[in-house]
Structure 1
Amino acid sequence: MALPGRRLDLCSLPGFFLFQALLLLLPPPPPAAGSGEQGLVPRVRFCAGDGRRALSFFQQDGLRDFDTLLLSGDGHTLYVGAREAILALNIQDPGVPKLQSMVPWPASDRKKSECAFKRKSNETQCFNFIRVLVPFNATHLYACGTFAFSPACTFIELRDSSLMPILEDKIMDGKGQSPFDPAHKHTAVLVDGTLYSGTMNNFLGSEPILLRTLGSQPVLKTDTFLRWLQPDASFVAAIPSTQVVYFFFEETAIEYDFFEKLHTSRVARVCKNDVGGEKLLQKKWTTFLKAQLLCAQPGQLPFNVIRHAVLLPAEPPAAARVYAVFTSQWRIGRTRSSAVCAFSLTDIERVFEGKYKELNKETSRWTTYRGPETNPRPGNCLVGPSSDKALTFMKDHFLMDEQVVGTPLLVKSGVEYTRLAVETAWDLDGHSHLVMYLGTTTGSLHKAVLSKNSASTARLVEEIQLPSDPEPVRNLQLAPNQEAVFAGFSGGVWRVPRADCSVYESCVDCVLARDPHCAWDPESRNCRLLSAPILKSWKQDMERGNPGWACATGPIGRSPRPRSLPQIIKEVLIVPNSILELSCPHFSAVASYRWSYGEAAAIPDASSMDYNGSLLLLLQDGEGLGLYQCWATENNFSYPVISYWVISPDRPLALAPELAGIPRERVEVPLTRVSGGAALAAQRSYWPHFLTVTVLLALVLSGALVFLLASPLGALRARGKVQGCGALVSGEKAPLSREQPLKPPKKCRTSASDVDADNNHLGTEVA
């Protein structure tokens, strides 16, 4: 623990300067967690490869872009749509998913040549990117891909969850079901054998379409001429309900007149029993309606760009809610913000039963329609074709007047969420909690928890950085039977257990985490995953997160006993007149940390420094020995994280009576420089640094003194030079004719002292 090398007489003036130089050499500590613009922060953070969080990664040589994920009905197989291939992964074992079968589906050479001829990239675009992968029935999957900018679809046969080869004669045109460009967003859902898709319908990506195909009902699509959808519409989700199918997308707002294009999030509705019009709107939707989604905090700019949406079923079905991820087109500082909002299906249905908007052709503005009501109401899910009068009305009144207002559950600055997966978890008391898994643009996965019976916002339980190189999370798929979440990336699929309770090594950590999947087992002294059977002795406090109550009995690990005694004391034997660093592990990013010395709640400022959680000590003449403790305070609960008993071999010191029975462990911690938690490579003396700082300081002072003395002399010398150059030789007269021109005087150079700080010449004017 002692600083090796020569001993320093820190009582002397050089010793004091050395300690101050050491503090100057340390880089500034990073901002504290939760400060600045970050606001809500994950309590704990992990990275892939960290032994504390068990993760597994599947990859396949030669394959890229694992974008589309589909879970089988029995939950044992994960179907993955990659670039030019479809895979079936066996996920029954908790380790790395095993490749069960794979079928290649590359774009034909002719299509790739046509794609390259249209000036698309042969390296990144002219492939078959799988964009639709849905279960058609018990024996077949239905898949669609970009097929080198020529969308195609096919049926894939299943045998014992394995994929059968794709036949060339079974490949069909996929226009309107899959996008042309792999960069374009899309959505598709299969309901009762019928596929509802939202994507771009042309090569240029300027014709969005909502299409219904397959099944026994007629093929229907949106009318491009009527501009029901803006050319930049971007689809993110399709959610079926009892009688309708909802499409969630983002487009440029047409009802607002601003100088800048205003993006807005929408929800559109079409009826499942729509058969199209007989004379008007033939083979077109006759029930298409859309409304604006509003996700905003009071007094703040709205989150107007939707990225993804999912439905969490409930009983009764009318109580189901849609959870959606939003970002904003405006930046706050240099970062964007994200939000998760909840929308009730009841509220969505009510808005679609409300008033319409119409375009005033005289003013070219959208206003509320106040005309007579038509019975039956246009846009309702009637049986059979609608009347010509109703269809004429529907052609121009497809936008609803009222907004669907969502409830912000989580607002996070400095991050952009891309995907979302939600589930309901139950705690020991039988209360339900909403658990959200959020993928970001940098490849991290956030786990957020919200008590359904609480009005508070969500808490970020943990953050896991999956790929080492930042890239967006392509897709998320929950596998409840496997207790895992699967995340798709460009290079493969990550398997993330939805909870790893073993990372919480004590009752205090387990309770403060407030993870509904974890509870403390006092018998085994472990934080365990909630699964059958659950014993009544297990401890959990989801509402308050109070370890003092939940850990009052049984082994409690790092949690405080009645007088906050440590569980173990680390004994440090020092060399007198040395500099020490005592580290404090930060288990929680939302806790505040402080150091105490002995019975005092603070440490002496004259001989110590709290640097980024670590304590730097200047110990001299046997002073400053004793008990040093790092305390964490979280959720109004304080407990000792680590305790050091600093002693000297020359001056034995006895522990306090109440600490005498606590186990002690001898440790040696070398003097290190703290920089983001990383130490210097080896123990070394800081005398070279002290000498370097002293020499540099002397040079700076000498240079400043020389500059101050030289400036007046230089100015006077330059002034004399300028005046001498301008004078003519004595006795010389000016010429009287043009034939004898006066020779110009010699040019004068200004000295360094004649140039100011802005490099402007001074005193060079010549009469």
Structure 2
Amino acid sequence: MLALFCLMLLAAPLTDAWKSSQPRLHFQHSELMRSGRLVSLSMPAGDLNSLLPDEDGRRLYIGMKDHLLSTSLDDITQNPRKIYWPANPDRIQDCTMAGKTLEMDCANFLRVLERYNQTHLYACGTGAFNPRCAFIPTNLFLRAEEQTLQDEDTESGRGKCPFDPHQRTATAIIDGELYAGISSDFLSHDTAFIRSLGERHVIRTEQYDSTWLQGAEFVHVTAMSESDNEEDDKVYVFFTERAQEAEGAAGKVLYSRVARVCKNDIGGQRSLVNKWSTFQKARIVCSVPGPDGIQTHFDKLQDIFIQHGRDKKNPLVYGLFTTTSNVLNGSAVCVYRMQDIIRAFKGNFLHREGHQYKLTEYTGRVPYPRPGTCPSSTYGGFRSTREYPDDVIFFSRTHPLMQEVVRPLGGQPLLIRVGVPYKLTRLLVDRVEAVDGQHDVMFIGTDSGLVLKVLHFPKANRQNQEVTLEQLQVFKHKSAITAMTLSKKKQWLFAGSAEGVVQLGLFQCDLYGQACAECCLARDPYCTWDGHSCSQFMPTGRRRNIRQVNDDGNPLNQCVRQGDTACQHPSSCHTEQSKDG
């Protein structure tokens, strides 16, 4: 009854959010194919996890079950090259004998695909519950249209790739080292954040310690600079896990988290040897505030996109979430500032207290240097984490969780989808130079083969606003989108599913009619009225002088100035033009 009451209270704001976000244009798969905006490469393999663009080499690399592909970034159907990378036959037999299924478990599911340097990729697969990795020269694809990677050309993938293909994995190669959030054992009991490769010792989170990680599902890894001193650089990992601070009679509760470690962390001297000594985590909240303190939470993190701007140390963090509730089935996008995430790590710690060991605010003395601080000339002059005092290492091991939570801009989601026949799965953001400044355009994949094109612009009062421009059915059989990437140079979006890979043009300006008013009211930042037709906006000085919107911010005034009769009275068109955020 309580769940139903909460849903009724929240129905009005959620419904309003949905109504305001109806897509302006809908396109079926057949329409996109006929127009030439969509190119499709069918290769049903049952699993496609990674898309890695190489802008300079004009290639797209694709990681899937038993195969690694390379194809043209200009046209994915042109001359695709394939490396066949099966699991070892003996391991396949062991896997099936252990009760796993041949098609769903006992194959080589590629889960790591990273650019190692200018000439090599680094890739890992589950190898029928025996993970293997390989350095793959990019020129290997040029030798033949199809070839096989031999087992002797690979190395152990333990600590780099999960055993189980159904476990979420997040990886990044940073300064030649692999940072991986994975389940690191056969039974997927040990979820860990691990640094390997390179010349330093392998380092990881504390093993089988639920205070650090408990059933984590990793989503994204990224490096971040916080000062002009590179010794202070951190690596952030985003994930969802079971929340110890919220578990009780209701049972398992999931929270989304952001954790961070110092890049120069090498562990402790006597405790936390080859374990992170700077690991800290905080909760990320994406919820709709309700009356009487009732909130509905989108608890499960699905994707993260980091949007860098002029301030390199304070990017926007876009998070895509879904609900875990059986009552409210929906998805949301929340936007965070990096400075708000950093602030959470400067706050108070939680610790266990009382006979029930409940997590409460820690009010005692915090040792120096403050746990989580990187060894650097900025703070204390420590040369490495092995020089940290024992009380700092002990505190870090027992107090990884911060009290303060990270809340989104505006205090609520930017975008909400409830009561629709799909969930959101993947998220990309393209910052577009438009007539009236910069805008962020979100491309959101769904579990029904749709891509939503959504315009985001922050308002002056920090309230976010979004307009859904297009809904595009990019996969014919409506299979879930499992990977997406963007070619900024080529202006293509690439999406992968069990059906294969598609290549989608980011815009199609001629769809917006043959009149100035129609073009301007479309609000698509990729497009502009050039005096004759709706066409792609090119941010050059000459075009800017012709098309610059003045301070009143009304896009239709440009039509009046140019004598277009489509809309002689702009105020009657009831449009609200966005301001540059």
TM-score bucket of the superposed structures, by smaller chain = 0.7 to 0.9
Residues 688-716 of structure 1 show CA distances to partners (whole Å, capped at 9, x for unaligned) of xxxxxxxxxxxxxxxxxxxxxxxxxxxxx
Corresponding residue SS for 2:335: strand
Residues 545 and 105 (structure 1), Cα distance of their counterparts in 2 relative to 1, 3 Å cut = farther
Alignment of 1:316-327 (within 5 A): 316-327=311-322
Specify the alignment match of 1:499 in structure 2: 507
User: Which of residues 418, 431, 449 in structure 2 aligns to 1:424?
Assistant: 431
Matches for 1:136-535 after TM superposition, within 5 Å: 136-159=116-139, 162=142, 166-242=149-225, 243-260=233-250, 261-299=252-290, 300-331=295-326, 336-382=329-375, 383-384=383-384, 385=386, 386-407=388-409, 408-413=413-418, 414=420, 415-429=422-436, 431-452=437-458, 454=460, 455-506=463-514, 507-523=516-532, 526-531=533-538, 535=543
Q: Match for 2:53 among 71, 75, 89?
A: 71
How far has the Cα of 1:433 moved from its partner? 0.7
2:53 aligned with 1:46: no
The whole-number CA distance in structure 2 between the counterparts of 1:421 and 1:543 is: 30
Alpha-carbon distance in structure 1 between the residues aligned to 2:330 and 2:552: 28
User: What are the residue-to-residue correspondences of 1:671-710 with 2, within 5 Å?
Assistant: none
Matches within 5 A, 1:644-655: none
CA gap of 1:37–1:458, structure 2 versus 1, over 3 A, is closer
Structure 2 CA distance for partners of 1:349 and 1:305, relative to 1, 3 Å:
same
Which residue is equivalent to 1:580? none
Listed as ranges, the matches of 1:615-626 within 5 Å are none
Distance 2:265 2:42 in 1: 43
Three-state SS of the structure 1 residue aligned to 2:373 is coil
Find the aligned partners of 1:75 and 1:249 in 2 and give their Cα distance.
Answer: 32
Cα deviation code 1:370-428 (max 9, x no counterpart): 11121111221113212222222222111111111122322222342111111211112
Conserved 8 A contact 2:192-2:213: no
User: Which string of whole-angstrom CA distances, capped at 9 and with x for unpartnered residues, describes residues 181-240 of structure 1?
Assistant: 222111000000000000111222222111110011210111123324444211111111
Please state how far the C-alpha of 1:363 moved relative to its aligned partner.
2.9
Read off the aligned partner of 2:241 and give its amino acid letter. E
**SS of corresponding position for 1:552:** helix
TM-superposed deviation, 1:127: 1.1
TM-score, length basis structure 2: 0.84
Unaligned runs of 5+ in 1: 1-33, 564-631, 638-767
* C-alpha distance in structure 1 between counterparts of 2:143 and 2:330, whole Å: 41
TM-superposed deviation, 1:52: 4.6
- Contact 1:292/1:403 (CA < 8 Å) preserved in 2? yes
Question: What's the offset of the Cα at 1:509?
Answer: 2.5
Q: Percent identity?
A: 31
Whole-angstrom distance in 2 between the partners of 1:462 and 1:68: 25
Q: In 2, Cα distance between the equivalents of 1:257 and 1:114?
A: 37
Q: Supply the distance in 2 between the matched residues of 1:519 and 1:153 (Cα, whole angstroms).
A: 47
**1:48 counterpart letter in structure 2:** H
Instruction: Report matched runs for 1:543-554 at 5 Å.
Output: 548-552=556-560
- Residues in 2 aligned to 1:555 and 1:162: alpha-carbon distance in whole angstroms: 56
CA contact 1:511–1:539 (8 Å) conserved in 2: no
Bigger Rg, structure 1 or 2: 1
Instruction: Quote the Cα distance in structure 2 between the aligned partners of 1:501 and 1:295.
Output: 34
For 2:161 and 2:561, how far apart are their aligned partners in 1? Answer: 59
Instruction: Give the CA deviation at 1:331.
Output: 4.9
Asked whether the equivalents of residues 431 and 441 of structure 2 are also in contact (C-alpha less than 8 Å), the reply is yes
- Structure 1 residues 324, 536: CA separation in 2 closer, same or farther (over 3 Å shift)? closer
Asked if 2 retains the 8 angstrom alpha-carbon contact of 1:76 and 1:91, the reply is yes
SS where residue 159 of structure 1 aligns? helix
Indicate whether 1:635 and 2:575 are aligned: yes
Question: Do the aligned partners of residues 264 and 75 (structure 1) sit closer, same or farther apart at CA in structure 2, a change above 3 Å counting?
Answer: farther
Q: Equivalent of 1:58, from 41, 47, 50?
A: 41
The normalised TM-score by structure 1 is 0.65
Rounded Cα–Cα distance in structure 2 between residues aligned with 1:542 and 1:267: 41
Checking the alignment, whether the CA contact within 8 Å between 1:501 and 1:518 is kept in structure 2 is yes
What does residue 700 of structure 1 align with?
Answer: none
C-alpha deviation, 1:301, in angstroms: 1.4
2:449/2:480 contact within 8 Å kept: yes
**Stretch of structure 1 that moved more, 186-195 or 35-44:** 35-44
Structure 1 CA distance for aligned equivalents of residues 143 and 438 of structure 2 = 38
Which range is displaced more, 355-364 or 142-151? 355-364
Residue 390 of structure 1 aligns to a residue whose secondary structure is: helix
What is the rounded CA distance, in whole Å, between the counterparts of 1:398 and 1:159 in structure 2?
Answer: 44
Tell me the secondary structure at the aligned position of residue 93 of structure 2.
helix
Which residue in 1 is equivalent to 2:230? none
CA distance in 2, matches of 1:538, 1:66: 46
- Per the alignment, do residues 129 and 500 of structure 1 end up closer, same or farther by CA in structure 2, a change over 3 Å counting? same
Deviation sequence 1:605-632 (CA, Å, 0-9, x none): xxxxxxxxxxxxxxxxxxxxxxxxxxx9
For 1:103 and 1:556, how far apart are their aligned partners in 2?
A: 56
The number of aligned residues is 528
Secondary structure of the residue that 1:41 maps to in structure 2? coil
Is 1:90 the counterpart of 2:72? The answer is yes
Please say if residues 442 and 454 of structure 2, whose CA atoms lie closer than 8 Å, have aligned partners that are also in contact.
yes
Runs of 5+ consecutive residues of structure 2 not aligned to the other structure: 1-14, 226-232, 376-382
Cα distance in 2 for residues equivalent to 1:152 and 1:111: 11
Partner letter of residue 396 of structure 2?
M
Contact 2:521 2:556 in 1 (8 A): no
Query: Displacement of 1:281 after TM fit?
Result: 1.4
Question: Compared with structure 1, are the counterparts of its residues 123 and 542 closer, same or farther at alpha carbon in structure 2 (3 Å cutoff)?
Answer: farther
The structural deviation recorded for 1:168 is 3.0
What's the RMSD between the two structures over aligned residues? 2.8
> What is the SS of the residue equivalent to 1:394?
helix
| Equivalent residue letter for 1:346 | Q
